Amino acid sequence: MAKLLLNGALIMRDGQTAFAPDPVDILIDGQMISAIAPAGTIADADRRLNVSGLLAAPGLINGHLHSWDHFIKGRVENLPMELMMAHLRPAVPLPLTADDIYLRTMMAAVESLRTGATTIIDDLSLGQTFDRSHVDAALQAYKDAGIRTYVGFSMIDKAVVDSWPFVEESFPPETLAWLRSLPRPRGDALLGLVRDLAKEHHPSSARVGVLVAPSAPQRCTDDFLRDCRRLADELDLPVIIHVLETRLQAVTAEIFWGRSMVEHLAAVGFLKERTALVHGVWLTPRDRALIADRGASVQYNPWSNAAIGSGAADFRALRDAGINVSMGSDGCGVTFNCSMLLALKFGTGIGRIRSTDHRRWPTAAELWEAATVGGARALGRAHELGRLAPGQRADIVLYRQTSIGLVPLNAPVRQLVHAESGGGIDTVIVDGEPVMQAGRLTRIDESRLVADFQRAHARLLDRIQASEEAAGPVLEGLDRLYRQSLRHKIAADTTRGVIDLPSAEEVWQ
């Protein structure tokens, strides 16, 4: 295999190792880092890149994004998660082609690379249809972009409307019947898709791989959750699942199962290692103990959770419980972006307004570790992802030392977390291949991509507006059940948002 030498960079190996302000050489042999030594001391290389003036850092791992909502970016704000679902999983979906899927997926890849992520997990909804050409288009986009990717399929086997309580009294009978009649992929077909794709897209051997992604416990039958667990165990794949993102989901668990959502997942045998519970905002101490005992991870999505008013996961309580914490950006339909650098900034800030005890505030280094090593642990790949060291995958982001946030360079991890937005990224290497150099993507004609995406959006705009108008009756019903949920008590020891929520009477008087 060809050897690539990065000559003369400063290096931030991870979030915890003390920074040494001396340039180094980084030797990449194929896909792996084989040596790191003082600058000028490594001679054996087939190709050299002069990276003096750059700061090398591990690529970020975005454990949760949705590429499928790129066409509705910026269309909606100030809706809680449950009401937002009327737009994210619309009853009247957009008529997308495989080319549209390719374009929107590529946009997610480009933004991820330009904001420091070298590994992403795309929880891709296939909507109401099962079109294999759409799946193939998404996989091809990630192959073409050069980014390391895990693709899941946001799998459900229930009508979406039946994932909420209070639906019988919240929706008119004709609306409820319509929503229950909407087509959706069968659960067994989704499991079969993962099984088939894993033959050539297993993450142990492919840069673009698959994982098992049941959408959420309340959207799946218990039998389907068990089937997802069995498939993941059989194929040795990681798992992601949305858990307790909102207060309504805590209410839903009590009504559906008479116990917390985490307790229910434990009871059906779902909680295991390499299983990431996405969001984990509304957890009880008992939930955290169960998660820690089973070796599962909780994924911190601070900007997304704040943008839709869900609250904020208690980062310190998760760490104190011994839980591995990873991080994600979530989908741009909710947050308007999929930047992990933004998620890092917001995660440090919002974590500090939970407590007046500054000694318990999350540090930049802890957040960086969650977004790198924590993400690798959640995937079962801490042995090869998340750090810059010999024996690790060569997933490297190089930032210009002249980037304003890094001047003067006193504490790289703090300055990257608090000040860098992505504009200072010069070079990105994934699996040993430079996919960006001197600020330009090497595999993608970015200008053409953006122009093609804008044309596709213009073609779809009338259908987007029609879909939003058709969501009116759904939003009305969701608003009613959301209000009713606020009157329903939850466990007193449940972790709440950053501030205490007012009573339902105070909100709706």
- DSSP labels for 106-142? HHHHHHHHHTTEEEEEEE---TTS--HHHHHHHHHHH
pTM over 0.85: yes
Nearest-5° angle of CA 255, CA 257, CA 259?
95
**What burial class does residue 391 get, using C-beta atoms within 10 Å of its C-beta: 0-12 exposed, 13-18 middle, 19+ buried?**
exposed
Largest Cα span, the chain = 75
What's the pLDDT band for 448 if we cut at 50, 70, 90?
very high
Instruction: State the DSSP string of 419-461.
Output: H--STTEEEEEETTEEEEETTEESS--HHHHHHHHHHHHHHHH
pLDDT digits (tens, 9 = 90+) for 71-117: 999 898 899 988 988 888 888 889 999 999 999 999 999 999 999 99
Residue 460, both tokens: 């779809």
Domain with CATH 3.20.20.140 in the chain: 60-378
Is the per-residue pLDDT at 272 higher than 70? yes
Q: What does each C-alpha distance from 445 to 67, 71, 107, 136 come to in angstroms?
A: 19, 20, 12, 20
Tokens 């890149």 sit on residue: 49
Per-residue pLDDT, 500: 47
Spatial distance between the Cα atoms of 271 and 233, rounded to a whole number of angstroms: 12
Write the burial class of residue 177 (CB in 10 Å: 0-12 exposed, 13-18 middle, 19+ buried). Answer: exposed
CATH number of 60-378: 3.20.20.140
Q: How many helices (H) and strands (E) does the chain have?
A: 20, 17
Give tens-digit pLDDT for 12-62.
999 888 898 999 999 999 999 999 999 999 988 999 999 999 999 999 999
Ranges of CATH 2.30.40.10 domains, the chain: 3-58+394-441
Span 3-58+394-441 CATH architecture:
Roll (2.30)
CA angle 110, 278, 478 (to 5 degrees): 100
Give me the mean pLDDT over the 420-439 stretch: 97
Over the stretch 195-208, which tens digit does the pLDDT of each residue have?
999 999 999 999 99
For residue 509, the model assigns a pLDDT of 47
